Amino acid sequence: MIYEFQKNEYTISTDKAKLQFDVIHGFLSTSYWSPNIPMEIVKSAAQNSLAFGIYKDKIQVGYARIISDYATFAYLADVFVLESERGKGLSKWLMECIIQVPDLQGLRRWMLATRDAHGLYAQFGFTPLDNPAVMMQIARPNIYTERQPNEM
């Protein structure tokens, strides 16, 4: 199902046909969380997620994606608003839209990772982990810059 939200000259849409991968890749490949991410990974991630684009007059100015089973769990990833559009409340509006999507209601857990936007996410109920000792991870922060074994 495709969801669309309108506010002034901005549209938020989950229509993947509208995604502008040059914009998405341009931002993500220079972000602190996915430096040097290849374009094909950005496209695959979007295709396998519920992707939200923010558009101003049909030009993409923001993005977020949800990875979910739509029953119990959702992970919010790759959230950004281009610098030229910051300070206009778009991040907050994007979160308001994401949180109200019918397919994402009744989930037992939402997660995300952020270095610098705790204040934004706290407005929507996100908190630090209650018990971080129960959480585990496999982290490969340099995966896009290191040579992969199958590339040797």
- How many of the other CB atoms lie within 10 Å of CB of 20? 15
CA distances from 5 to 11, 104, 130 (A): 6, 16, 33
In the block, residue with structure tokens 């996100």? 126
Spell out the domains of the chain, with CATH numbers in brackets: 4-151 (3.40.630.30)
CA distances from 33 to 26, 38, 77, 114 (A): 13, 13, 10, 9
The strands making up 10-13's β-sheet, listed across from edge to edge, are 4-7, 10-13, 50-56, 59-68, 73-81, 109-112
Q: pLDDT at position 70, please?
A: 98
Beta-sheet strands, E only, within 2-108? 4-7, 10-13, 50-56, 59-68, 73-81
Question: Which token pair is 100?
Answer: 């109200």
Question: Which token pair is 17?
Answer: 């046909």
Question: Would you give per-residue pLDDT tens digits along the chain (152 residues)?
Answer: 999 999 999 999 999 999 999 999 999 999 999 999 999 999 999 999 999 999 999 999 999 999 999 999 999 999 999 999 999 999 999 999 999 999 999 999 999 999 999 999 999 999 999 999 999 999 998 899 875 555 54
